[in-house]
């Protein structure tokens, strides 16, 4: 401890609470506005295009599978918006996987139907935007948390000398 520095119990408790707060903040942080809008856009668009995806020839099981998929996607999206870290990773993974599946078929859809192509293009743009903004959001948050952790560690190590 530095000579003349008074380290009271309140300061020690404050440092511990900052570290605990930083850990809590890292695991459950609400998304910023742009990622939130993209995630809600993907969920909303998924629900909007449901009638176009309904195929009565699939029967009750096909309709049930579509409903479960829409509910699952929306629930993961809402959890991602609420700040659940694993839901953000899962939502990003699902968006990326969907892009890999849809993008190669866009030229074929353009030749067959402009309406179907435009629906797929909007879906791809929303999912790519969500994927990009979620990635940027996680990167900036982790850098901010690293700076806060460095500050807490450097303060505590300078006080012990």
Decide: 91 and 39 in contact? Cβ < 8 Å. Answer: yes
What the block records as the tokens of 8 is 């009271």
Average pLDDT of the chain is: 80
Among 100, 103, 77, 102, CA closest to 90: 77
Among 70, 53, 45, CA closest to 125: 45
Q: Hunting for tokens 């839901």 — which residue is that?
A: 87
Q: With 90 as the cut, is the pLDDT of residue 60 above it?
A: yes
Task: Please tell me which residue, 139 or 35, carries the higher pLDDT value.
Answer: 35
pLDDT for the residue 83: 87
Q: What does the pLDDT look like over 133-148, one tens digit per residue?
A: 998 887 766 555 554 4
Model pTM score = 0.68
Decide: 119 and 52 in contact? Cβ < 8 Å. Answer: yes
Q: What does the pLDDT look like over 108-128, one tens digit per residue?
A: 999 999 999 999 999 999 999
DSSP-assigned beta bridge partners for residue 84: 28
């Amino acid at each position: 401890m530095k000579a003349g520095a008074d380290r009271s119990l309140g300061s020690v408790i404050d440092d511990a609470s900052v570290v605990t707060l930083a850990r809590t903040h890292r695991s459950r942080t609400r998304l910023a506005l742009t990622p939130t809008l993209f995630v809600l856009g993907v969920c909303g668009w998924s629900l909007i295009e449901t009638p176009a995806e309904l195929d009565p020839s699939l029967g009750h099981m096909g309709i049930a599978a579509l409903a479960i998929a829409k509910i699952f996607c929306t629930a993961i999206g809402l959890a991602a918006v609420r700040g659940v870290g694993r839901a953000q990773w899962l939502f990003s993974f699902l968006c990326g996987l969907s892009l890999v599946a849809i993008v190669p078929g866009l030229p074929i859809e353009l030749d067959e139907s402009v309406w179907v192509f435009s629906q797929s293009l909007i879906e791809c743009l929303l999912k790519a935007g969500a994927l990009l903004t979620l990635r940027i959001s996680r990167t900036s948050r982790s850098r901010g948390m690293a700076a806060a952790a460095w500050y807490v560690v450097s303060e505590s190590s300078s006080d012990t000398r």
